[in-house]
């Protein structure tokens, strides 16, 4: 796909030089502007893939102000062209989160490298945005959800709730003990308790949720659970005894 670039530069000689360089590099200059107002109009009309924006423009609007409006209308990468590399100018430009800077006088290799890096970064940012939006939607609690996933090493791992032996609180994290693995997740016991099926899980302590089907016996006020070849004693807190007792009949 040919990359369409909007060039915003108020010096006609420099603008033509930029157009020649971009064409030589294989890009297409879809539009040119010498003011911020015109740049905004062309960006909405032409829908470029990227904008090369001079910071200092004719008229009442700077390139920084134009870039901010363009990015609010269309999520495209903006690269600033500038002869000014002072801290004050760069600090103002950073507010718009540009994808790069090209200092005048520029070299073609600098233009090419900066554009390619900007396009790559923008693509990755878009992928992360989509991924985060999906993750946010998945993280919402659903009372009728049929499957359980947990965050582990940048993945959502599917687990069988019946394979979970118990859950233990670890300050700002919880440790989920399954048949074969241990997972540490940044969440709260309250959130875990809500999402685990109440039919088989029971909160028995402020630091423990147990799978009642994994309980072997009760001894000295503790629940004893099989964890592989190892047995684990889980304490029962005073505030949770009545709820636990409601689930148990003794012969």
Q: Name the domain count of the chain.
A: 2
Range of the domain at 184: 148-245
- According to DSSP, the residues that pair with 58 across neighbouring strands are 35
Which of 118, 120, 107 lies closest to 24 in space, CA to CA?
107
Residue where a domain stops, chosen among 77, 105, 137: 137
Is the pLDDT confidence value at 95 over 80? no
Residues 40 and 162 placed together within one structural domain of the fold = no
Q: What is the CATH number of the domain that holds 102?
A: 3.40.50.2300
77 found inside a domain: yes
Q: Which residue has the higher pLDDT, 96 or 168?
A: 168
Which of 49, 56, 45 lies closest to 28 in space, CA to CA?
49
pLDDT, residue 234, reads: 94
164 found inside a domain: yes
* DSSP conformation class of 60: S
Residue where a domain stops, chosen among 87, 105, 137: 137
Please list, in sequence order, all residues whose beta carbon lies within 8 angstroms of the beta carbon of residue 197, skipping any fewer than 6 positions away: 161
Give the Cα separation of 42 and 5 in Å (integer): 11
Q: What is the CATH number of the domain that holds 198?
A: 2.40.50.1020
Which of 221, 206, 219, 216 lies closest to 167 in space, CA to CA?
206
Per-residue model confidence as pLDDT tens digits over 223-246: 999 776 778 999 999 999 999 999
**Phi and psi at residue 73, in whole multiples of 5°?**
-85, -45
42 found inside a domain: yes
């Amino acid at each position: 796909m040919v990359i369409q670039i909007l060039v915003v530069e108020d010096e006609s000689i420099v603008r033509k030089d930029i157009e020649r360089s971009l064409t030589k590099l294989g890009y297409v200059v879809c539009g040119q502007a010498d003011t911020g107002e015109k740049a905004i109009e062309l960006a909405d009309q032409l829908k470029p893939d990227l904008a090369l924006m001079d910071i200092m423009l004719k008229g009442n609007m700077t390139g920084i102000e134009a870039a901010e409006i363009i990015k609010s209308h269309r999520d495209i990468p903006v690269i600033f062209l500038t002869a000014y590399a002072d801290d004050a100018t760069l600090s103002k430009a950073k507010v718009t989160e540009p994808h790069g800077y090209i200092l005048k006088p520029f070299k073609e290799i600098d233009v090419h490298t900066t554009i390619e890096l900007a396009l790559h970064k923008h693509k990755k940012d878009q992928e992360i945005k989509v991924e985060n939006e999906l993750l946010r939607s998945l993280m919402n609690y659903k009372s009728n959800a049929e499957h359980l996933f947990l965050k582990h090493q940048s993945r959502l791992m599917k687990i069988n709730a019946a394979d979970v032996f118990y859950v233990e609180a670890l300050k700002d994290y919880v440790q989920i003990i399954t048949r074969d693995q241990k997972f540490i997740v940044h969440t709260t016991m309250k959130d875990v308790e809500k999402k685990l099926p109440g039919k088989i899980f029971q909160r028995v302590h402020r630091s423990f949720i147990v799978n009642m089907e994994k309980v072997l016996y009760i001894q000295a006020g503790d629940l004893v659970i099989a964890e592989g070849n190892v047995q684990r004693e889980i304490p029962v807190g005073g505030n949770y005894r009545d709820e636990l007792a409601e689930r148990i009949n003794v012969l």
